[in-house]
Every structure is written in C-alpha cells, then in structure tokens.
Amino acid sequence: RVISLVFLLILPIPHPPNTAKMRVASAACLAALASTASAFTTTVSPSVARHYAAATSTTLNMAEKLSQDELKKMVGYKSVDDYVKSGMVVGLGTGSTAYFAVERVGELLKSGELKDIVCIPTSVRTKEQAESLDIPLVTLDTHSKLDVAIDGADEVDPDLNLVKGGGGALLREKMVEVCADKFIVIVDESKLTDGLGPGFPVPVEITPFCHEHTMRTVAALPSCEGCKAVLRMGSSSSNVNDGDEIAVTDNGNYIVDLHFEESIKDAVKMADEIKNTVGVVDHGLFCGLTTAVIIAGSDGISVKE
C-alpha cells in the first residue's frame, strides 16, 4: 500500500482545462494523502520517506492555483467528511463558506453515506438551502444538545476567538453553536489575524427600540474605546451599505457594526461588557467556543486546535 501511494504521487495528475470541480477534488485528495505522511514514513526506508515528503510538498502547492471559492469548498467538504457521522445532530452555519458544508451534508445523505442525521440551521437562507437538499431539519426546541456545529468566521485570532456576523446571522449562530459538543470553524487563510478588530467590524445585534441610544451606549463602553459605531443599512446579510432602509435581521432586530483602527485589547472583556448592555441582544465576538479551525491556504489544508 505504501509503495502504491508513493507511486501515485510520482505520476503526473492531469487537470482538464477550465474544470474547477476536478481541480478541487484533486487538491483535496492530495491534501488527504499528505496528512498521512507521518504514519507511512515510519514504515518505509529513509530514501522512500524523503521522496514521499518531497512529492507531497510539491503537490500541496497546487492549492495556490485554486480560487477563493474553491478553497472554501475544500474546507467545507473536509469539515463534514471529518466530523459528521450518521446518527448525529448537526448545526448548519451561515455564509459563503458554510454553504459548502451544507452542500456536502446533502450530497452524503443522498448517496446514503450519511443516515439518520438531523440538522439545525442558523438562518432563513441556510434553512432554505437545506430544505432544497432534503436535509431533515429540527430546532433547539426539540434538540437542545448538538454533536457538532460547522460554520465560517470573519476573523480568527491566535487563541481561536472569532468575529462572526458579517452575514447578519450572529444571534442564531451563537445560540446553536454554544449547544454543540464540537464547534468546527472553516475559513481560508485570509481570515487569520494577529488581533481581532481592524480587519473586520464587530457586529452587535440590538433592539429597534431607542436604537440610537443603544448605539451610543455601546460605543462609550471602556472596552470599545476608539470604535466607530455604524448602523447597518440595506441588506442585513452584508456590512456594506447597500440600501436606504435600516437592515433588519431574521429576528426583527437591527445591527450596529463596530469599526476599529487598532486590535481589540481584550476580546473577552469586550464581549462581556457589550452583552451586559441593556438593549443589546447579542454580539459577534465568539470567545472560547472553537474546537478546531480548518484552514485552506496556499500550502493546502491545515487544522488548528
């Protein structure tokens, strides 16, 4: 088996021109083979092991030729393949990366590789996607304990704290993901940061009642010093102003995006202060919840725990 795998890596792998699906599948396969390198190299001669390592190093660089959507698809599919098993209760995230995880769940259910699972969506649009794929859905009202939840993130710091909610689903995402035994985050390497804040605004979901007062109160919190609070306008699923009306979430609330020029000094303290503000429903700081982050980048797929 070892010789066969090494031989496969030596052979050239054709890529049909303009066939993105084949490129993703090939890169994913190579990433999977590379992840077994340490196990195989302990059973072969040093010369074969060196050749195997060199081959995997070369082939993993294929990932840098993939588009951002193709990288998202790789981590989305890997998260389901690695963490979702038959009989589980699964939380389905929201966003452009989570979309591919939902797609993979649908594929595996249709093929029969997954059976007897139920899923809890974190937004209306995820619910609609899941229904179109015939994924059985339930809610927290009937299933308060989840085996795993899978979702993307807008920023990830070295401690695996997250900023989420760019797509406006932060409240439902947090409600579902805090109930999961494992919370798997799927991102491309552009979402990794040394400090939360400057790269992506922190969304805060607030009640419509006296929303301007709540905005001022949040912006004046000691932990939020220096932030610029901006009321989200247009679509709630984008923090880019794309309309004249105030954006409304699936829950009927408003979103305030907190823009920072410098890294947040204490994300945990900020999370507590914002959450304890009257008028705030919840916020997009997800601290201490992450089990693992699956990252797609120029060197292939990696996992950080």
Residue for token pair 């072969």: 44
Write out the two tokens for 14.
């054709």
Sign of the torsion angle spanned by Cα atoms 77, 82, 86, 89: negative
In 3D, which of 287, 305, 271 has the Cα closest to residue 161?
287
Contacts of 113 (CB under 8 A, 6+ apart): none
Cα 28 from Cα 49, distance rounded (Å): 21
Cα 88 from Cα 97, distance rounded (Å): 21
Write out the two tokens for 270.
């900020």
Annotated catalytic residue 113 = no
- The kind and range of the H/E element at 53 are helix 46-60
- Which residue out of 173, 212, 273, 305 is catalytically annotated? 173
In 3D, which of 258, 32, 282 has the Cα closest to residue 155?
258
- The kind and range of the H/E element at 211 are helix 211-219
Residues annotated as part of the active site: 173
